[in-house]
Copies of this chain bind each other. A is one copy, B any other.
């Protein structure tokens, strides 16, 4: 019997492709094995199981998305960087819906594997770097990063879930949202220390 030449990485990539085509929760060991021309039991030599596979897809997606964003924002600053960052994020989610969904799941993964994953960490660093130009200091910086990530993620998630029923094009709302976030970052409200409302 000729060998299929599989490896954990190849299995993960095939899983990611399948996820983008049919949706992450339709990705099944059997179906993936079928696509790879192999019996399903054979996959377990490369991947610990379905849960592990999903974790690997999530890590792959995080890395890819981070690289996209890094390339898009490289050499830019201010609003340019903000728009490039946000568009790279959204475009990745549109192009790879299955991979993107994988990034939303609480990551419970092999620690040795997680150590190799530079994606998530670098993504956060990139966001901080992008905000450097707005002159925010901690803890406002962290708050701003979280606000941006929430908005970006929330927008594409709602968009994917069909949450924008109004006839106005999401693209318009997206551009306006970026305008709004930019002006917000420029006029970040001072924190009222001691106010516990």
> Measuring CB to CB, which residues of chain A are less than 8 angstroms from any residue of chain B?
25, 83, 104-107, 124, 139-140, 142-144, 146-147, 149-155, 157-158, 160-166, 168, 170, 172-173, 175-177, 179-180, 182-184, 187-189, 191, 197
Contacts and interface: CB of A to CB of B under 8 A. Distances in A.
A106 B161 contact: yes
A168 to B, nearest CB: 5
A176 to B, nearest CB: 4
A146 B177 contact: yes
Given A139-B172, A168-B139, A176-B191, A157 B163 contact: no
Contacts of A164: 146
A104 B161 CA distance: 6
A87 to B, nearest CB: 11
A13 to B, nearest CB: 23
A150 B157 CA distance: 8
Contact of A176 (B124, B140, B163): B140
Contacts of A143: 168, 172-173, 176-177, 180
Given A154-B154, A157-B154, A142 B173 contact: yes
